[in-house]
Structure 1
């Protein structure tokens, strides 16, 4: 079969279910309690397709440690491999639980990578340097404050306490993984909870440094994220920056997607509020 008729593989994408047993936030048009049913509907759709995996791009819960007890079992009905990233709301739990969040969703590390059919998927921990994920007294909180002050001084729009950054250690790991994938002849998809482009108030605190690194690599075909529930899209060089819309938003409409990877393009089939796109690969 030619590349035009059969994809190399497909995978599912969910962003920001942000579940909690809470009343709706009418000001933000968010309905956290309805995310269980929305996720069940998305999984039923995913299960109708031959997918390599399904990734959730962070903010699995809205708040409260016990929210994980309600939403994680919903994923048990998914017949595909699943990957989780963590977002800022996943750390909106009591202080004694902060260091347990990573393990609670079945991860041994909050950042990791895996390969599939000539592609390297790199999952980042964008919460590592932040005011919410590290425990109280952790120097990474001071590092986040310093980043926010520098952004404030520069008049940047993203100096907010609900954004985060990766550490120097994780940055070096990412740089090494990009080089490793290039040497292996793999195309790369980077995934993070936080956007880095286009410029937006939701961007990672280290978005400029991240964008500069990714721009040096022509084998990075896409960067996938959530966090900005309205969604966003941009291109830099040959890399597509795709911000998927938040599942938690609106009372009746969901948002999720299936991405089909072809030799020459990515085809995103959007469900609910999510947009469909055809993105050529050079």
Structure 2
């Protein structure tokens, strides 16, 4: 590993699948807001470097999506630091342009570096029913998966341009001696989800791209509400449980992630270690 890697601990808060709703019972809405504020307060006390919101911020109700987004982002603005957002399938009840503006994102997929770790945030809805295909390959991908109902039309795929960008990002990070953490709303392995929730349509292709780089250490996702884990090609694939199902097993509201040069530790809202993974 290059000496450019900063070995100091990087700590960030993480949450997924909030499914913020304005149409639920008033008591439930109040509890949701209070629990989100509790997450932000916990992260402040933990002195995190930033936060990650892994997608499905809103429920995506047909008539209430704009208000869901307004209220959810209003709560998140209580955090004084940076929040990195991921666009999930429920979010696309609104246009990507609306989401990018509201969430302060430069693009649906992006990257950044912090303390020697290079984060690559994927757009799993790049090729989906919400986007017009940009290439013949993307149109073929869309038609292929839409013809297979078991693949779910609420899932999506990483498109051609994004794949080219991903390969360049991995190459740059590897040459810089940076460890890569991939972030995607959708799980990338079948063993970390179930048939009902599904996963990234072209998951195998993306996993192969990640495996071709020696820099990738972990991939963190949401979408599958009950969480999952698998190790493949020396990459840790972690799927975090959903905030919206926090009252069900495993009762996970949010996580605090600690990254060091040799591994990753994830603690839950009670500061209990739920994952302690060494980089291979």
Please state which band the TM-score falls in when normalised by the shorter chain: 0.7 to 0.9
Structure 1 residue corresponding to 2:216, chosen from 200, 211, 220: 220
CA contact (8 A) 2:257 2:265 kept: yes
- Aligned partner of 1:167 in structure 2 is 159
Q: TM-score, normalised by structure 1?
A: 0.84
TM-aligned CA deviation for residue 275 of structure 1: 6.6
Greater Cα shift, 264-273 or 38-47 = 264-273
Q: Which runs of 5+ in 2 are unaligned?
A: 1-6
- Using the alignment, how far apart are the partners of 1:247 and 1:147 within structure 2? 32
Q: TM-score, normalised by structure 2?
A: 0.84
- Aligned partner of 1:197 in structure 2 is 189
- Tell me the SS of whatever aligns to 2:277: strand
1:183 correspondence with 2:184: no
CA contact (8 A) 2:174 2:214 kept: no
CA contact (8 A) 1:229 1:244 kept: yes
> How many correspondences in the alignment?
259
| Shift in CA distance, 162/269, structure 1 to aligned 2, threshold 3 Å | same
Q: Which runs of 5+ in 1 are unaligned?
A: 1-5, 25-30
TM-aligned CA deviation for residue 174 of structure 1: 0.4
TM alignment of 1:18-33, pairs within 5 A:
18-23=19-24
- Aligned partner of 1:72 in structure 2 is 73
| Shift in CA distance, 74/267, structure 1 to aligned 2, threshold 3 Å | same
Greater Cα shift, 33-42 or 79-88 = 33-42
- Aligned partner of 1:119 in structure 2 is 117
| Shift in CA distance, 163/65, structure 1 to aligned 2, threshold 3 Å | same
Q: What RMSD over aligned residues (CA atoms) do the two structures have, in Å?
A: 2.5
Runs of 4+ residues over 4 Å off in structure 1: 31-34, 140-144, 250-254, 272-275
- Aligned partner of 2:58 in structure 1 is 61
- Tell me the SS of whatever aligns to 1:234: strand
- Tell me the SS of whatever aligns to 2:77: helix
Q: CA offsets, 1:128-148, max 9 Å, x none?
A: 1111x32xxx23695553231
1:49 correspondence with 2:46: yes
